[in-house]
Each structure stands twice: as C-alpha cells, then as structure tokens.
Amino acid sequence: MKKPSTKGRSMCGIVGLHLKEAALHRRLGELLTPMLLAMSERGPDSAGIAIYGDRALDGSLKWSLRASAGEIPWDDVGARLGRELDTIVQMRGVADAAVVTLDGDPKLVMKTLSEWFPDVTVVSFGHSVEVFKDVGRPAEICKRYGIAERTGFQGLGHTRMATESAVTTEHSHPFAAGADLCLVHNGSFSNYASVRRRLSDAGITFQTDNDSEVAARFLAYEIEHGADLGEALESLMNRLDGFYTLLVATESQFAVVRDSFACKPAVIAETDEYVAMASEYHALATLPGIDKAQVVEPMPREIHLWSR
Amino acid sequence: MVTLNCDELSTREVNSLLHRLPVGSAVTITNPRGRHNLAVGLSNALEVTIDGNAGYFIGGLCSGPNLTVNGFVGWSVGENLMSGSVRVNGNASESAGASARGGEIYVSGDASSRAGISLKGGTLVVAGDVGHMSGFMAQAGVMLIGGDARDALGDSLYEAVIYVAGAIDSLGSDAVVEDLEDSDVHLVKELISRSGFDHISPEDVTRVASARRLYNFEALSGVAY
C-alpha cells in the first residue's frame, strides 16, 4: 500500500496545562501525558515536554541536558561541573537526558560543558523548567522520561510532523530560550531567515535552522530587553509572518496566540482549577471537570495570557 | 432506541453500524469525547443524536439523516452535506458547513471563522456570531447569522446570499449590502421558523450578496500593470 503523503500537511499537535489549584500539582504529569498522547496522530515523528515544577534553591538553576551521542555517565558530568565551578551539583540522569541543578553563572556553565563534554547539548535552563524531547513516538518518549509521574504547576507538550527542517531531537519542540521560557508551535513561519539574521547580528546564537527556534529566541530577546510576555508576543505578531498557533510559558506566565488567519487550530478550556490548551478538543476530554469547563477557540491575533 | 457507546466502539465501528441501520431508526451516540468523523457519509434517513462534545467533520457527506449534537463540534461540521440536517446545540469551530451542497445546518451558539466557506447550495443558520472570512467563495445556498459577523464577510462571493441580524465588522472583497425585499423577509422568516432561533427579527437583517465584479477579467485591466 502506498504510504499517504504528508507533504504540505503542517500538522503538529500542541498541548499545555497551567494548574491554578495547588492540590493538582502532584498530578501534572498524570494529566498532561494523555493530552500529549491524544495528539500523537498530529505528530508521530518526535515529541517533547516541558515541565515547570519545584523551583531550584535560591540562586541555583536547573539545566536539562542531552547527550547527542547516546547515553553517557552523567555522574561524571556532574562531578566535573562541580569541580570546575566549585559548587554543589545535583545530577539526575535518565537515559540520554539529564537534569542537573547547580549554582553558577549560566555563561560559565555553558562554557564548561562545551569544553569538557562537546557531545552534551543544553536543552533548557531556568529556575523551574525541565525539558525532555526526542524523535520517536510520543508514547515511548513519555514512558522513557517518566512524564506521567512528574509533579509541577504547568507543562507544555508537542508532537511533531516536520515540514520546515530535519527530524532530530534538536529540531523538536519545546524550544527553550533564555531562563524558563519555552515555546511550542503548530504552523510555519515564512520570513524567519531574515528575523534570524537580525538576531544573529545582535549576538544571539542558534542551535538549529528551525523556524520555531527563531520565534522562541525572538521572544527571549524581547523579554531580555524589558518586554513582558504579552508585549513580546505583540512584537512577534508584527515581525514574523506565517501560520501559527503558539503556546509559550515562562516561570510566571502561560500564553496562547494565533496568527491573523487562524488556520492552525486551538482550543482553550478554563475551570477554577486549571487552564488547558490543545490543538484539538479530544486532547482535553480526559481532564477532570472538563464537562463544566468554559471552552473557547482563540480569535486571530488575540493574546490569551495567564499569570501566577 | 439504539445506543452506540464511543468508549466501546471505534469510529469506524460506529459509522459502519449506522450505515446498516434501517431507515427511520433512532440512535444515540454516547461518550464522543471530541472524536472526529462521527456519523459521516450516511445515506439512510436516521434520527441520530450525539450526546456530548464532538470533533471534526461531524455529519459530513450525509444525504438523509437528521443529526443532533448536544455539545459543541470541531472543524467542518456538515462538510459537503448533501441533504438532511445537522443541528448543533452548542458552538461550532471553523468552517461549519464547508462546501455543503444541500441540507440544513443549525448552530445554536457561535460558529468560528470561515463558516459556510464555499457553500454550494446548503443552508447554514447560526444563532450567534460567526468568525472572520465567513461565506468565503460561497457559490450557492443561504446563510443566516443571528449575531455579528467578524472581518471579511462574504469575500469573493458567487451566488450565495448571507443575511446578518447583528453587526458586520467588515465586508470581504466583492461583497455588497443590498436592499431587503419581501422575498428575503419571507425566506428569513422560514429559516427562523425551521431553526427556532426566534431572537432574529426578519425585517431587520442585512442582506449581503456578490457585486459580481470579480466574475470576469476586464480586458483592459492589464494596462494597469
């Protein structure tokens, strides 16, 4: 049988859950996992999850790392970082990924990592966020990283059907840029190369040639220069052309926006306990109290934003 | 009364069971949980109720059944409907009634963008508001909107006619407001009676139709380039 063509079908699935009710924090992963799995058909080639959980102790940052050449002895990486940066390091390795918590200047941490472990890439860093992503079926990825057992106050997920760039772990979502900022995207940007050049000229470095990474770094750049997330999204809508439903989170905010044509789907459900977002409603159908939730479809260029 | 429970049946099983039911059967589909493609392509005159929120393409391609959804629906409800009816007791997402060639689609809440896109003879009645680009390239048929219409209503309209009870944010290219005639009022009254959306006042709707300026290329337009 001929394999159905996926050309021109920029699907991808996105999900997000922002928990207002603290009693639900312990169930974040349990609630988010079926949401992501429901979106498997929209993006069977890769998947990723950002979990915003316990804040690292004062001054410390959590770093999500990935060994691009496969599993490595993470404890050795932790020990080396501790020695070079003269600090206490907490290391939690899961297969080819790890989360390391330490107190140190981010630039110095990145420099040390690239000097000693050139095969280790930084997936995200921040006070709260941890990011896990890989190529493969979403169900396998969730299982490998134990997403269903994770606690936290908000999470994002993405299932990818690649159109703009290669299918690799680095090219999958969420894209993290700056401390605690994560973005997931369904759609495609058309003028990202010129926006990327401008950002490069301003000293921003990119890990991939992916269009969504440009959007993430654009937002991080705007926020670093004084914008709040709402203002940064407003600038993004004026600067980046293309089709998009974006879900963006920081340590304190959770936002959804669609382009002016609103060709990419999105539904948002809100109750007293949570705000949930997904590409399609059936990804929300497993949430508690969804029957009583207010379900809305965001209008074009309308920024929906929640703060905690 | 037949009940088909989506928790126990795949979408393919639900649809194939529906296809086999004798004309006149009443059937309820339970626990849809946003599932796509329910009750599509049916040509037998059934009375189908979907109890809960449903997904994309609900009731599409049908020629015969009367379908009621007690909940909201995703994209393209009643897409390419041939005859019969789809009644949504809730909101509809984008492209409600896309390319419907016949039949009637009633939405008791709002419909999102591109409602009635490329309508080809069907009837779409929305009690509430519709989103941007509604009625885009609609070729034949009627739309009645009980609330407001967002931007670019009726862009590139052909011969379909749109009636709007509320405000219109903006008209699309080649769409114009025309005078309401007795025949329009009569038709709107008929649609109100069939839909039950009696908050609409038939004498106060706005009639939007094609100015037909995009029908032909002007031979001299090339000079402008």
The CATH number covering residue A113 comes to 3.30.70
Instruction: Identify whether A238 is part of a domain.
Output: yes
State whether A93 and A212 are in the same domain.
no
How does B199-224 read in b/e, with b if 16+ C-beta sit within 10 Å? Answer: ebebeebbbbbbeeeeeeeeeeeeee
State whether A163 and A280 are in the same domain.
yes
Q: d(Cα A261, Cα B5) in Å, to the nearest integer?
A: 36
User: Counting runs of H as helices and runs of E as strands, what totals does chain A give?
Assistant: 7, 16
Instruction: Identify whether A7 is part of a domain.
Output: no
State whether A71 and A218 are in the same domain.
no
- Name chain B contacts of A265, Cβ cutoff 8 Å: 74-75, 93-94
How many domains are there within chain B? 1
Domain boundaries, position B123: 91-214
CB A207 within 8 A of CB A121: yes
Q: d(Cα A280, Cα A39) in Å, to the nearest integer?
A: 8
Instruction: Identify whether B137 is part of a domain.
Output: yes
pLDDT digits (tens, 9 = 90+) for A78-130: 999 999 999 999 999 988 999 999 998 999 999 999 999 999 999 999 999 99
B94·A262 Cβ contact <8 A: yes
Amino acid identity, position B128:
G
B93·A265 Cβ contact <8 A: yes
State whether A69 and A92 are in the same domain.
yes
State whether A79 and A46 are in the same domain.
no
Q: Which of B112, B133, B134, B170 to mutate to test the interface with A (most CBs of A within 10 A)?
A: B112
State whether A146 and A80 are in the same domain.
no
- All residues at 6 or more sequence positions from B134 whose CB lies less than 8 Å from its CB, including other chains: B111, B113, B114, B115, B116, B117, B143, B145, B149, B150, B153, B154, B162
State whether A254 and A291 are in the same domain.
yes
**Tens-digit pLDDT string for chain A (308 aa):** 334 433 344 589 999 999 999 999 999 999 999 999 999 999 999 999 999 998 888 789 999 999 988 788 999 999 999 999 999 999 999 889 999 999 989 999 999 999 999 999 999 999 999 999 999 999 999 999 999 999 999 999 999 998 778 899 889 999 999 899 999 999 999 999 999 999 999 999 999 999 999 999 999 999 999 999 999 999 999 999 999 999 999 999 999 999 999 999 999 999 999 999 999 999 999 999 998 898 999 999 999 999 99
Looking at the complex, report in whole angstroms how far the Cα of residue A174 sits from the nearest Cα belonging to chain B.
25
Is A12 annotated in the active site? yes
Q: d(Cα A286, Cα A283) in Å, to the nearest integer?
A: 7
H/E segment holding residue B192: helix B182-195
Instruction: Identify whether B49 is part of a domain.
Output: no
CATH of the domain at A162: 3.60.20.10
State whether A81 and A37 are in the same domain.
no
Domain boundaries, position A64: 58-127
Instruction: Identify whether B142 is part of a domain.
Output: yes
State whether A194 and A110 are in the same domain.
no
State whether A294 and A195 are in the same domain.
yes
Instruction: Identify whether A235 is part of a domain.
Output: yes
Instruction: Identify whether B63 is part of a domain.
Output: no
How many domains are there within chain A? 2
Task: Look up the ipTM and state it.
Answer: 0.90
| Prediction pTM value | 0.92
- Name chain B contacts of A284, Cβ cutoff 8 Å: 34
Instruction: Identify whether B223 is part of a domain.
Output: no
Instruction: Identify whether B175 is part of a domain.
Output: yes
In the three-class reduction of DSSP (H, G, I as helix; E, B as strand; rest coil), residue A246 is classed as strand
